Amino acid sequence: MNQDDSRTRYTPSFTEGDDDRDVVDLLADEFVARLRRGESPSIDEYADRCPDRADEVRAIFPTIAAMEKNKPHPTAALPSDGVVGDCRLVREIGRGGMGVVYEAEQESLGRRVAVKLLPRTHGTDDRPLRRFLREARTAARLHHPHIVPIHTIGEQGGQPYFVMTLVPGVGLDRVLQRIRRSGARGTDGPSFADDYVDTLAYSLRSGHFSSASGSGPSNRAEARSPRTGLSRPNDTNQLGPSYWRAIARVGLAAAEALQYAHEQGVLHRDIKPGNVLLDASGGVWVADFGLAKALGDEDLSRTGDLVGTLRYMAPERFRGSADARSDVYSLGLTLYEALTLRPAFDSADRVKLLKRIADSRPPALRTLNPNVPRDLETIVLRSTEPDPALRYPTAGDFANDLRAFLEGRPVGPRPSSARRLLSLARRHPLVSVLAVSTFILTIIAGYFIRLYVNAPIRPPFPPEGPHPFEPMGDRPPPKRGPRD
């Protein structure tokens, strides 16, 4: 959870023989583990940790990053003719945990769309596929200004896909990554969308979005201009009021989308920064509604992004229950990450991550960044309460408080300590039994101490004057007066 953890914690599945390993290899292992979690570890940090061979680290680590970047990703197999349904795939525009998104030409209507191809299912069982089609159809009925519209759902040779509106947006995860690493020379090479991500990072920080709506990644001349003369912050302390407001606005849009979907009986189940898309005109789009359920847990883990998804999951999900408040929680953690520029819960290890989410709350926002407005902190705190009963009961309530913050009105109160204690007792009966017994023991102990302390002023000793003798072991402790 804290920064030290993410640096030092890496447990390979095998530890025997590590003593013999080249120290550069051991550091490389950790460096790679962090790259694979989507972090941007600094090479200098590793060079500093290995002063004898700092030059070697500096020489080799960029190569490691390049290898990792070029790694093939398990994708849905492409159809050999590049045609899915009535769409001709044009180019790859994104890769998520659950599939690959292509820009495509929908030939029947002559328009550009986005096609998401999902991994094929294994085995001879066709139930997963039927479940996908059923669940995805429900999600496709959603129509909201902040939800990526789905046009078609289908299946081609056992491979599920859906066709969506081509939104000129980039995932909040990538924008945050850019803000996080800005200033440092990234491990990323140049890519087509980099300028666009830069623009979004700039827009979020400055609160200035281009007024031209629909300016997508292709609108590069405009996209590039804000970069010049920009001071690049290296830490969250350089983020200011316009950034907090921009993030609150993103949260508001997403919360409104959630409220609408919940009213239609659809839970998102996988809210995380990667599923909140931003565009250069300030538009916010929530993607992949209900897809987590459509695909099922098994398929979710198959794509290798289980940890990326677990990180934002509400604790009650691990006990098998999910409702609107679970989506509220995941959106809360998404905002938390946007405000602190680091995940609220961070562990590459599944089991440890689960334990953390179940047992703890993330560190208070303002201890990580004292500049975050207190009201915004209150909102994020309330949305990420481990106990669903203490959270906003609906995404609409969450949205109302974000709106209040943006309009400078007072936001709802923080859950009181007493309610938190009750909730803790409800969730952890053992803890509460211990707490109550400790409490009772304290009272009993207090009673006896009182008897003991008061003893000298009771008969048989005279109230005033010197004692005829010192009673053994019955003298009050020197620093305690009878008023105790």
Partner 1 sequence: MSSLEDRTDDELLIHLRDEPRVLAILFARHRPRLWRMAQLRLDRRLLGRLDPDDVLQEAYLDASRRIQHFQREDSSSFFLWLRLIVGQTLVDLHRRHLGALARDAGREVSIDHAGPHAPEVDSASMALELMGQLTPASHVFQRREMSQRMQEALEGLSATDREVLVLRHFEELTNSEVSQVLNIQAKAASIRYVRALARLKAVLERDPEFHEES
Stretch that binds partner 1, among 58-66, 200-208, 259-267, 365-373 (CB under 8 A): 58-66
Q: Pick the closer one to partner 1 by CB: 6 or 121.
A: 121
Stretch that binds partner 1, among 26-34, 148-156, 176-184, 204-212 (CB under 8 A): 26-34
Q: How far is the CB of 410 from partner 1 (least distance, A)?
A: 38
Instruction: Return the sign of the alpha-carbon dihedral for residues 338, 339, 341, 346.
Output: negative
Residue 257 is which amino acid? A
Residue 245 is which amino acid? R
Residue 61 is which amino acid? F
Q: Pick the closer one to partner 1 by CB: 53 or 403.
A: 53
Q: Among this protein's residues, is 270 annotated catalytic?
A: yes
Q: Cα(207)–Cα(249) distance, rounded to whole angstroms?
A: 10
Q: Pick the closer one to partner 1 by CB: 100 or 246.
A: 100
Q: Pick the closer one to partner 1 by CB: 163 or 381.
A: 163
Q: Pick the closer one to partner 1 by CB: 25 or 235.
A: 25
**In what helix (H) or strand (E) does residue 310 lie, and over which residues does it extend?**
helix 306-310
Tell whether residue 303 is a contact of partner 1 (CB under 8 A).
yes
Q: Pick the closer one to partner 1 by CB: 58 or 409.
A: 58
Residue 338: DSSP 8-state: H
Q: How far is the CB of 24 from partner 1 (least distance, A)?
A: 5
Q: Cα(250)–Cα(402) distance, rounded to whole angstroms?
A: 10
Q: Hey, which residues between 272 and 301 contact partner 1 (CB under 8 A)?
A: 297-299, 301
Q: How far is the CB of 284 from partner 1 (least distance, A)?
A: 28
Stretch that binds partner 1, among 229-237, 347-355, 395-403, 474-482 (CB under 8 A): 347-355
Size of the residue set binding partner 1 (CB under 8 A): 64
The residue from 62, 183, 370, 482 that contacts partner 1 (CB under 8 A) is 62
Tell whether residue 126 is a contact of partner 1 (CB under 8 A).
no
Could you write out the three-class secondary structure of 428-476? Answer: CHHHHHHHHHHHHHHHHHHHHHHHHHHHHHCCCCCCCCCCCCCCCCCCC
The residue from 2, 3, 5, 21 that contacts partner 1 (CB under 8 A) is 21
The residue from 4, 52, 71, 443 that contacts partner 1 (CB under 8 A) is 71
Tell whether residue 74 is a contact of partner 1 (CB under 8 A).
yes
The residue from 38, 50, 54, 79 that contacts partner 1 (CB under 8 A) is 79
Q: What distance, in Å, lies between the first and last C-alpha atoms of the chain?
A: 43
DSSP calls for 365-426: HHHH-TTS-HHHHHHHHHHT-SSGGGS-SSHHHHHHHHHHHHTTPPPPPPPPHHHHHHHHHH
Q: Hey, which residues between 185 and 224 contact partner 1 (CB under 8 A)?
A: 187, 189-191
Q: Hey, which residues between 148 and 187 contact partner 1 (CB under 8 A)?
A: 187
The residue from 49, 112, 122, 127 that contacts partner 1 (CB under 8 A) is 122
Residue 302 is which amino acid? R
Phi, then psi, of 93 in degrees rounded to 5 = -120, -10
Q: Cα(331)–Cα(270) distance, rounded to whole angstroms?
A: 9
Active-site option among 195, 270, 375, 397: 270
In DSSP terms, which residues pair with 101 in a beta bridge? 94, 116
Q: Hey, which residues between 350 and 389 contact partner 1 (CB under 8 A)?
A: 350-351, 354
Stretch that binds partner 1, among 83-91, 140-148, 223-231, 466-474 (CB under 8 A): 83-91
How many degrees, rounded to 5, is the angle at CA 186 between CA 75 and CA 207? 95
The residue from 80, 108, 218, 231 that contacts partner 1 (CB under 8 A) is 80
The helix/strand count (H/E) of the chain reads as 18, 9
For residue 273, is the peptide bond before it cis, meaning its omega torsion is within 30 degrees of 0? no
Q: How far is the CB of 248 from partner 1 (least distance, A)?
A: 31
Q: How far is the CB of 405 from partner 1 (least distance, A)?
A: 33
Q: Hey, which residues between 402 and 461 contact partner 1 (CB under 8 A)?
A: none
- Which residues neighbour 127 within 8 Å (Cβ) at sequence distance 6 or greater? none
The residue from 2, 3, 63, 416 that contacts partner 1 (CB under 8 A) is 63
In DSSP terms, which residues pair with 163 in a beta bridge? 115, 152
What is the chain's Cα-based Rg?
28
190, 198 contact by CB (below 8 A): no
Which residues are the active-site residues?
270
Instruction: By CB under 8 A, name the binding residues for partner 1.
Output: 12-14, 16-18, 20-22, 24-25, 28-29, 32, 36, 56, 59-60, 62-74, 76-82, 89-92, 119-120, 122-123, 187, 189-191, 297-299, 301-304, 306, 317-318, 320, 350-351, 354
